[in-house]
Structures are given as structure tokens and as C-alpha cells.
């Protein structure tokens, strides 16, 4: 679910996951596998891979991230 609603935990929304992902990417450029592992550690919970990809898609659409020539994900400044 992209939007917050009263029946969902905020931690299970794309907005929340996108914010955490963006914070992790601001620290360093990272490959997708290690980013997924870091995100799971950060939220201290199992994470559906589809939600992870949706969070990346959301950030990409907002022009907050890009994939560099090495295939790493990095923040757009």
C-alpha cells in the first residue's frame, strides 16, 4: 500500500520504506542485494521483496535515486 491508512502499520507502507531506503543510500552508493539486507536489518523485520522494489521505484520516479554505470544505486543530489 502506498498511502497511509488507519488499518495498516506505517512501517508496512511504501512511503516509510522509501524514506528508510533513501536514508541508507544517502550514506553511500550500494548494490541492490546489500541494500535489501541493510533495509531488513534497519526495520528489524522480514521484508517482502516486492515492497522493497516498489520503494525503489517510488524513489526513482521522484528522481531521488539512480543506477550508476557499475550497477550500484546512488542518491541524486
Model pLDDT, residue 3 = 57
Whole-prediction pTM: 0.85
Beta carbons of 26 and 75 less than 8 angstroms apart? yes
Cα gap 12→39, rounded to integer Å:
13
At residue 30, the pLDDT reads 92
Provide the pLDDT for residue 65.
96
- Specify the pLDDT at position 45: 83
Closest CA to 29 of 74, 70, 77: 74
Positions in the chain short of pLDDT 50: 1
Domain boundaries 10-75, corresponding CATH code: 1.10.10.10
- Chain mean position to CA 55: 4
Residue 6: the pLDDT is 64
Looking at residue 4, what is its pLDDT?
56
Amino acid at each position: 500500500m502506498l498511502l497511509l491508512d488507519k488499518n495498516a502499520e506505517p512501517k508496512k507502507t511504501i512511503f516509510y520504506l522509501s524514506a528508510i531506503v533513501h536514508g541508507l543510500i544517502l550514506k553511500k552508493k550500494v548494490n541492490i542485494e546489500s541494500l535489501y539486507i541493510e533495509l531488513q536489518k534497519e526495520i528489524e523485520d522480514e521484508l517482502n521483496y516486492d515492497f522493497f522494489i516498489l520503494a525503489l521505484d517510488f524513489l526513482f520516479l521522484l528522481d531521488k535515486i539512480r543506477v550508476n554505470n557499475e550497477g550500484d544505486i546512488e542518491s541524486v543530489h
